[in-house]
Amino acid sequence: MLKLWLGLALTADSSALFRDRNSFGMNLKRPSELYKHLRVSKRHILGKSHDDVVTSLPKDNDAPELESRLQFHKQFMIGAQNNRVGLGSSRKVQDTDILKSFIRQDENDKYKIHAMSLEMQNEWLDIGDFCIPLALKWRTLIHDWSPALLKFYLNAFQMTLPDQSNLVRWGKGTEKTCYICGKAVGTAKHLLVGCKVLLDSGQYSRRHDRVLEIIRFVREGTRAIKSNVKPYSILKAASDWTIMMDTYEKQYKIPEDICASASRPDIFLYSRILKRVVMIELTVPWETNIPKDHAIKVNKYYELTNELTRNRFVVDLYAVEVGARGITAKSLYNLLKDLGLSRTNINSFLERTSKAALVGSFQIWLGRERNLDSGVREGGRKICPPVDLNGENGANTDLKCPTCGKNYKRRAWYIKHLKTHNGVEARQSLVSSSIITSDRVDPHVSHGEPLTGNHQESINIRTRLSIPNMKQSTWKVHDDNLAVLLEHPGSKQELNSQVETFQNTVYDYFNEQYPPRNHYARKK
């Protein structure tokens, strides 16, 4: 039920829902784990009772092991520090909390062992050394992220997006080649970071600029806001900072008095008073490629760094990465810390950059069916061309989809496939096509002209093609001829009593002709 609620694929590893945030999970409580917490806490409390009857109650099987671990922890580990509180600092922790942490640790170890046996859904084991887990707070999930964005993130991180490779693996498709470039295997990784056609069209650059625009520094000629706490910052002691940003639509050139070079880092920040330069290079790679891309970017600006050093400038080069699935690298955290941002601002900044990268990837994913070179109208989805559904003498013949190649024996199944495969525009192309005539769809319907003769089947098919978007459309009835005009966009408030009467009539006829098995039949 949790997978269905979150939109996670059935083949996804369910441990992603219950792992803690440090293990790139959602930190939900599994009922079995919660039951263990309650049972161990109760047993520990009853064990300290002065009543012999209570202490003589049977113990759980795992209680002795947990008690021995608790004694070892209190004797040797209670004074050790594994966080930021410093040496000699300690706080009192309840024994029940320590026992719960043991149970939680055991559960996480089981998740790791299970992930090692997986072939694809174990990338979170490799990226923990150089990536910061995404903080999926309830406030973010409810008020900031849309359900579609959350569904995309969970499936993308678990490698269960319905890309071409997975569709073939699940038995839902036959072609594994990317339908944009036609060369590589159509995986989510290839689509989001590796498709040459998307790179040349500027899709990746626009996502890169979306993340880059979030970065904001102290404005030129001003100082940072004063605070009682004065953290270290590479920007202090000067107010003449000048920032230049290289984007897909606008480029800059380094001033000649600083350095004569054609190289352009994403952000070039300099101060002539301090003789200091800060260069920031942003990359939006696949998370497992972050170490390799980091080394490539550092080596790319090696010559520029040496040239600035020879000109007696102090150079700070930061190669930062934000993953295509919204996972930020620790290099970005180090940059924000060196800039003097507080921990609260850093966390807020990381959330914004993560969402910007994720939204950019989500837009690329939504446009994965766009044919960039076929001449189809710009920004539109690729539409299956209209096909004569009548066959010879109006008989049912094998119908083959010109896009995916699937064959259908029945015309109704073929129409349903076109609607599922192409969405709204395919339905509109079928309705407006003059090829689909006879007892299917009258071409005059789309123009609002009166219907003549026996058009019950025509009205039926017309309704079937329009029911999926009933909430976004407005139906109008003209006179007694039941002429229908479909307008976009519309609203429910515009429907009058005549429209409701006509809809009920069509629905009733539809339910009689296609009883319960039809997907679009109205539920009574």
Digit-by-digit pLDDT tens for the chain (524 residues) are: 788 888 888 888 888 889 888 889 888 888 888 888 888 777 777 777 777 777 776 666 667 777 778 777 777 766 566 666 666 556 667 777 888 888 888 888 899 999 999 988 999 998 988 999 988 888 888 888 999 999 999 999 999 999 999 999 998 888 888 888 888 898 999 999 999 989 988 899 999 998 988 875 544 444 445 555 556 677 777 788 898 999 888 889 999 889 888 889 999 999 998 899 999 999 999 999 999 999 999 999 999 999 999 999 999 999 999 999 999 999 999 999 988 888 888 998 999 999 999 999 999 998 876 544 443 333 333 333 333 444 433 334 467 776 677 776 666 666 666 656 544 444 344 333 333 333 333 333 333 333 344 344 334 333 333 333 333 333 333 333 333 333 333 444 444 555 566 656 666 665 665 554 444 444 44
149 burial (CB, 10 Å; 0-12 / 13-18 / 19+) is: middle
Measured distance CA(13)–CA(1) in Å, rounded? 14
Burial of 172 (0-12, 13-18, 19+ CB in 10 A): exposed
Please report, to the nearest 10 degrees, the dihedral formed by the alpha carbons of residues 278, 284, 288, 294 taken in order: -20
Two structure tokens written together for 213 = 């625009």
Amino acid symbol at 518:
N
Angle between helices 95-116 and 63-72 (to 10 degrees): 110
Q: What is the pLDDT of residue 350?
A: 92
Using alpha carbons, list the distances in angstroms from residue 522 to 410, 467, 468, 516. 22, 10, 11, 9
Question: What is d(CA 389, CA 441) in angstroms, rounded to the nearest whole number?
Answer: 10
Q: Could you tell me the pTM of the whole model? A: 0.65
For 68, residues 6+ apart whose C-beta sits below 8 A from its C-beta are: none
Give CA–CA dist 76/80, Å, rounded: 8
What single letter denotes the amino acid at residue 504? N
- pLDDT confidence of residue 374: 40
Residue 131: beta bridge partners?
A: 329
Distances (CA, A) of 96 to 35, 57, 198: 14, 19, 54
Nearest by Cα to 322 from 336, 311, 312, 310: 336
Compute how many other C-beta atoms are within 10 angstroms of the C-beta atom of residue 468.
16
474 three-state secondary structure = strand
Reading the block at residue 241, the tokens are 């900072």
Degrees to nearest 5, angle at CA 101 with 99 and 107: 110
Extract long-range pairs of 433-442: CB within 8 Å, 24+ residues apart.
Answer: 433/386, 435/386, 435/387, 435/388, 436/386, 436/388, 436/389, 437/390, 438/390, 438/394, 439/394, 440/389, 440/390, 440/411, 441/465
